[in-house]
Amino acid sequence: MRFMRMTMVVAFVVAALPGLAKDKEAQFKSVEAKHFARAEGVELSPEFTDYLYAELRAELTKAKLFGQVLGEGEVVDAADAPSSIVIEGNITEYKKGSVAKDALIGFTAGWRSMKVDTTIKRRSDQSVVASPQIHVRASPRWKDKVLAKEAAHQIVNELKKAVKDKDAAK
């Protein structure tokens, strides 16, 4: 009886092992994030777009969907192009918010906000994988770069969702 129990436990553990594998196989060979453009009237410094770019790359590395996270303008082998994607974006709106409103009214009144239009394309044929529109908000008492952190997080989440949906549709 005891032997049977032990055998069953071992069988369960062995069956569950593939699911516990730490690293899933990367779905894309590489991803390239580009510096996002700023629409006219968006008062954000070039350092902000640099930071957004860095955060986006950090989030893409964490996502483990890609074999390699490339820097902007890196050469990609022609053979790898079909399984490589490029992320481009445009910051369309930025409101710097009001500390006074935030302090007096509260309930997110006077918060900073930023809208970003993102396009995720396949490198080989430029077909659009997803084009999420991101809207992030943060307290004006925090640095504006907090918005970049949140935006990068949301872009990668949208990308994950798009990939999941495509896999489910197949």
Partner 1 sequence: MVSRVLVGFGTVVLLALSAEASVAFADEPKPTPDNTIHVELTEPVKPQAFARPLKFFLTDVTDRSGNAQPMLVYKPRNGIFLDRTPVEITREALSNCLKSSDMLAPERESADFLLTVYLFRFGLTDSSGMDFFGKVELAVVVKNPKTGKSQQVSAAGTSIAGVALRKKNIQKHVLEDIDNAFGDALRNFLRGQSLRDAITALDVPPESNAPRATTPPASDKPIGTPIG
Indicate the residue among 41 and 73 with the shorter CB distance to partner 1.
Answer: 73
Residue 30 contacts residue 65 (beta carbons within 8 Å): no
Residue 53 contacts residue 37 (beta carbons within 8 Å): no
Interface size with partner 1, residues (CB under 8 A): 19
Q: Is 148 in the site for partner 1 (CB under 8 A)?
A: yes
- Closest by CA to 148, choosing from 38, 31, 32, 28, is 38
Contact mark string toward partner 1, 104..143, x via CB under 8 A: --------------------------------------xx
Contact mark string toward partner 1, 22..61, x via CB under 8 A: -------------------------x--xx-xxx-xx---
Q: Pick from 8, 10, 37, 71 the residue near partner 1 by CB under 8 A.
A: 71
- Could you tell me how many residues make up the chain? 170
Q: Pick from 149, 151, 155, 163 the residue near partner 1 by CB under 8 A.
A: 149
Q: List the end-to-end C-alpha distance of the chain, in Å, as a whole number.
A: 46
Indicate the residue among 47 and 93 with the shorter CB distance to partner 1.
Answer: 47
CA distance 86 to 76: 11
Indicate the residue among 65 and 70 with the shorter CB distance to partner 1.
Answer: 70
Q: Look up residue 89 and give its DSSP letter.
A: E
CA distance 56 to 148: 8
Question: Containing H/E element for 12?
Answer: helix 2-20
Taking the complex as a whole, the smallest distance from the CB of residue 6 to partner 1 amounts, in Å, to: 43
The footprint of partner 1 (CB under 8 A) covers 47, 50-51, 53-55, 57-58, 71-75, 142-143, 145-146, 148-149
